[in-house]
Amino acid sequence: MTHDSHQDALLSVNHLVTQFPAKGKKNITVVDDISFDVKPGEIVAIVGESGSGKSITSQSIMGLLKSGGTIANGEILYQGHNLVEMSKKERRKLRGKEMSMIFQEPMSSLNPMLRVKTQIAEALKIHVPKQSPKERMEKVIELLKQVEIPNAETVATYFPHQLSGGMRQRVMIAIALAGEPNLLIADEPTTALDVTTQAQILALIKDLNSRNGTGVIFITHDLSVVADIADRVLVMYAGKIVEEATVYDLFENPQHPYTMGLMKAMPTLETQSDLLDPIPGNAPDIANKPKGCPFHPRCPLATEKCVEKIPELNPILNDHSARCIYPGKGGNNHEQ
């Protein structure tokens, strides 16, 4: 996919590099020269193992980097405005109102001392300050109903500990929607939930996306949830995008060995758990990445060429790119 024209994009990330300081060493690059777009109403999934850089990508976009993290290069264009050049005050104005985020663990994001209605009302007070208290409380109930919480008037009076994990996540989504954002970033929003609740939250995000036209970045380590929710998928490994495709093309015709490995390790209704084929080895230490393609130590197709340099993200077909010199299922046929 080319990124020369961003006219129809809600968000354009161009050559983003995010680094963190390290004791006695040069900065560690966690997000390494990535580019992608999100169009209005589009759901883009970012998939990868822990340490791939996917969550740091979302924090870079939201301006929520911690531990001394900095954007060392690149630009993040939201509706044509470069977020990287904005002051912290300007970024804060955008957060919640224009773009919002749902986090992995709602219990640590919600205030245990405040009732649900108070927490949603506080978000509304920031984003819609001219509302009267009566209007604000009506909007609180409306938001709870929007995220399909039954008995919204009663649940509004509860404290977080009185809610199930799925209900807490719905409350977090209601808070994220308070400012009516154009872009919603969901960072592993279903990881701590059981399978049934997970499916309900995915369906809710999909429904809100289609109903409100909200652009969504959905971050997950679990490729199996991607098929249900995404329009397009970015697969990340060791800080780089290694494959990008529509969700249909990715599942029908994966091109990168890492993507293929994730699929083989993915349980299905037909697959017995003892027959799953996990990717051998571990993801590389982000501070000591191997030379060349970072996946080569774990790759069944790797040759000496793979150690020489990091491949480019090359187009394979329309809107389908892979960072591999042996892309596609015929990769086993190359010379050893």
Alpha helices in 236-336 (DSSP H): 247-252, 257-264, 305-308
How many angstroms separate the first and last alpha carbons of the chain? 30
Q: Is 118 exposed, middle or buried (0-12, 13-18, 19+ CB in 10 A)?
A: middle
**Which residue has 């912290």 as its token pair?**
88
pLDDT of 204 above 70: yes
CA distance 229 to 227: 6
- The closest of 112, 104, 103 to 162, measured between CA atoms, is 112
- Each residue of 131-181: pLDDT tens digit? 999 999 999 999 999 999 999 999 999 999 999 999 999 999 999 999 999
The pLDDT of 45-60, averaged and rounded, is: 95
Residue 93 has what pLDDT? 87
Residue 280, amino acid: P
The larger pLDDT score, comparing residue 211 to residue 235, is at: 235
Amino acid in position 327: P
Average the pLDDT over each of 154-163, 228-237, 259-268, 314-323 and give the range with the smallest value: 259-268
pLDDT band (50, 70, 90) for residue 109: confident
Return the number of other C-beta atoms located less than 10 Å from residue 204's C-beta. Answer: 18
pLDDT of residue 336: 37
pLDDT band at 266 (very low <50, low <70, confident <90, very high): confident
The two three-digit tokens of residue 228, written as one number:
């249900």
Per the CB < 8 A criterion, the answer to whether 239 and 74 are in contact is: no
Output 113 or 273, whichever has higher pLDDT: 113
> For residue 333, what pLDDT band results from cuts at 50, 70 and 90?
very low
Of the pLDDT bands very low, low, confident and very high (cuts 50, 70, 90), residue 335 is very low
- Please tell me the distance from the alpha carbon of residue 306 to that of residue 134, in angstroms, as a whole number: 63
d(CA 216, CA 222): 17
Tell me what pLDDT residue 45 has.
98
pLDDT cut 90: percent of the chain above it: 71
CATH code for 11-98+181-329? 3.40.50.300
> pLDDT tens for residues 278-291?
788 888 888 889 99
pLDDT confidence of 275, banded at 50, 70, 90?
A: low
Which of 326, 330, 306, 240 lies closest to 33 in space, CA to CA? 240
The residues spanned by each domain of the chain are: 11-98+181-329, 109-179
Which residues face 243 on adjacent strands?
235, 322
**Number of residues in the chain:** 336
Distances (CA, A) of 152 to 61, 155, 158, 159: 32, 5, 10, 13
The answer, yes or no, to whether residue 76 has pLDDT greater than 60, is: yes
Coil/strand/helix, residue 293: coil
Q: What percent of the chain has pLDDT over 70?
A: 92
What is the pLDDT, as a whole number, of residue 332? 39
99-102 vs 81-82, strand pairing mode: unpaired
More confident residue, 8 or 245: 245
Amino acid identity for residue 63 in this structure: G
State mean pLDDT over 173-192: 92
Q: Where are the beta strands (DSSP E) in 90-156?
A: 99-102
How far, in Å, CA of 147 to CA of 170, rounded? 6
- Average pLDDT, whole number, for the chain? 90
User: For residues 136-171, b (16+ Cβ closer than 10 Å) or e, as one string?
Assistant: bbebbbebbebbebeebeebbebebeebebbbbbbb
pLDDT at residue 7, as a whole number? 66
Mean pLDDT of 44-72: 95
